[in-house]
Amino acid sequence: MIANKKLLVLPGDGIGPEVMHEVRRVIDWMEQRRLVRFEIGEGLVGGAAIDAEGVPCPDRTLEAAREADAVLFGSVGGPKWDKLPFEQRPELGILRLRKELGLFANLRPAIVLDPLVDASSLKPDVVRGLDIMIVRESTGGIYFGEPRGIHTDANGKRIGIDTEVYSEDEIARAARVAFDLARKRRNKVTSTEKANVMQSGRLWRAVVSEVHKAEFPDVELEHMYADNAAMQLCSRPKQFDVILASNLFGDVLSDLAAALTGSLGMLPSATLGAVQPDGRRHALYEPIHGSAPDIAGKGIANPSAQILSFAMLLRWSFGMEEQARMVEQAVERVLAGGMRTADIMQPGMARISCSVMGESVVRELNKIA
């Protein structure tokens, strides 16, 4: 029996609560089988928190996240809160969590599962078996650097300013996450930047090389300009194993990689913090999709990305590789059996609802275990 772990569940808005409901089925099953044992807390975030408490990330939620061994996050936002001023938007809920917990490394796998090869925007041969991991630095760079803002110049014209700032420590810690991951995969890191035109890019390349030489000489390292990486992702994606990128380039490259797989409703993500002196590490797991207001409440969302985020949580926060694999296999088997939620519907397949997808995953788990 595995010891009690503290898990904080934050369903959020839109389809968040719907897909989270299906994860709870999976967790219940694992607890019944005594494969895991969690102390589960639930909290408010995003629009749900604004409605109940007036802020997108109440202190109580933040404290619970700090105490938890891992956070499973749904999604936030929706038309109901669109008119709020910028500083009060539901999206600030996740931003506050990331910042306060120091979640600096965003891991986004882009995987093409065999049954979904035809869903990709690329030819089947180009993407069959695709398995890339993108490590996006997520607390620094151009989204936070100063000066920033919209100002007026001497001629009364507006100028918009953003500044990319990276310290060597910020680059090094993101690089370590990427190298560490590569060792558990196919041992290759492609570090992306624009060292040809950006000073922060020059430093990025230098620091990644230094960390590589000093700590990870056994891992293959390749440097690639970010624009070239975008092109290579579209033409020969299988050359990549782990891609390391800044906050901005990682944002773009990971969306591109997700599009290659053709299934927004399938892709999970993890965001990790630094390892603390006591050995603990904050981590938050969430699907890459948003709250999908257009389909919320209809019971047709694909819960796979949320369920696979839970698999990542098992692997990354609790080292439960075997249990994580079980969950991933169960999802894949449901798809292989010809069942599809609306977002990944293909000709000749059976269209199923969000809850039937969740039930089917549990049915497959029963067969695997």
Judged by the rule CB under 6 A, the positions of this chain that interact with ligand ATP are 15, 75, 77, 264-265, 289-292, 294-295, 301-302, 305, 343
228: β partners: none
Does the annotation list 85 as a binding residue? Answer: yes
d(CA 335, CA 323): 19
What are 165's two structure tokens?
């700032």
Please give the helix or strand (H or E) that residue 134 lies within, else none: strand 131-137
Q: In the 8-state DSSP scheme, what is residue 111?
A: E
Does the annotation list 319 as a binding residue? Answer: no
Please state the closest distance from residue 128 (CB atom) to Mg ion, in A.
27
Q: Could you tell me which of 152, 150, 172 has the C-alpha nearest to residue 161?
A: 150
Q: Which does 263 bind (CB under 5 to 8 A by kind): Mg ion, ligand ATP, none?
A: none
Local structure of 243: helix, strand or coil: strand
Task: Give yes or no: 255 in active site.
Answer: yes
Q: Give the residue with the Cβ less far from ligand ATP, 92 or 171.
A: 92
Task: Give yes or no: 180 in active site.
Answer: no
Does the annotation list 13 as a binding residue? Answer: no
Does the annotation list 86 as a binding residue? Answer: yes
Cβ atoms of 20 and 72 closer than 8 Å: yes
The residue type at 153: D
Please state the closest distance from residue 293 (CB atom) to ligand ATP, in A.
7
Q: Which does 264 bind (CB under 5 to 8 A by kind): ligand ATP, Mg ion, none?
A: ligand ATP
The catalytically annotated residue of 143, 188, 225, 238 is 143
Q: Which does 291 bind (CB under 5 to 8 A by kind): ligand ATP, Mg ion, none?
A: ligand ATP
Does the annotation list 363 as a binding residue? Answer: no
Does the annotation list 84 as a binding residue? Answer: yes
The catalytically annotated residue of 13, 69, 251, 343 is 251
Does the annotation list 232 as a binding residue? Answer: no
Q: Give the residue with the Cβ less far from ligand ATP, 221 or 284.
A: 284
Q: Which does 168 bind (CB under 5 to 8 A by kind): Mg ion, ligand ATP, none?
A: none
Q: In the 8-state DSSP scheme, what is residue 13?
A: S
Q: Give the residue with the Cβ less far from Mg ion, 75 or 200.
A: 75
Please state the closest distance from residue 91 (CB atom) to ligand ATP, in A.
7
Q: Which does 133 bind (CB under 5 to 8 A by kind): ligand ATP, Mg ion, none?
A: none
Does the annotation list 102 as a binding residue? Answer: no
Cβ atoms of 215 and 251 closer than 8 Å: no
d(CA 182, CA 197): 28
Q: Could you tell me which of 192, 137, 200, 127 has the C-alpha nearest to residue 163?
A: 200
Cβ atoms of 137 and 251 closer than 8 Å: no
Q: Which of residues 287-316 bind Mg ion (CB under 5 A)?
A: 290
Q: Give the residue with the Cβ less far from ligand ATP, 242 or 330.
A: 330
Task: State which residue has the least CB distance to ligand ATP.
Answer: 290
Within 8 A by CB and 6+ apart from 123, the residues are none
Within 8 A by CB and 6+ apart from 36, the residues are 2, 5, 27, 30, 314, 318, 320, 323
The catalytically annotated residue of 131, 162, 180, 255 is 255
The catalytically annotated residue of 69, 194, 241, 343 is 194
Q: Give the residue with the Cβ less far from ligand ATP, 201 or 262.
A: 262
Within 8 A by CB and 6+ apart from 111, the residues are 130, 131, 132, 261, 266, 267
Please state the closest distance from residue 53 (CB atom) to ligand ATP, in A.
21
Q: Which does 311 bind (CB under 5 to 8 A by kind): Mg ion, ligand ATP, none?
A: none
Cβ atoms of 37 and 316 closer than 8 Å: no
Task: Give yes or no: 143 in active site.
Answer: yes
Strands 149-152 and 105-111: unpaired
How large is the angle between the packed helices 92-100 and 59-67, nearest 10 degrees? 40
Number of neighbours of residue 294 by Cβ within 10 angstroms? 10
Please state the closest distance from residue 267 (CB atom) to Mg ion, in A.
12
Please state the closest distance from residue 247 (CB atom) to Mg ion, in A.
15
* Active-site residue list: 143, 194, 227, 251, 255
| Residue numbering of the annotated binding site | 78-91, 98, 108, 136, 227, 251, 255, 290-302
Binding region for Mg ion (CB under 5 A): 290
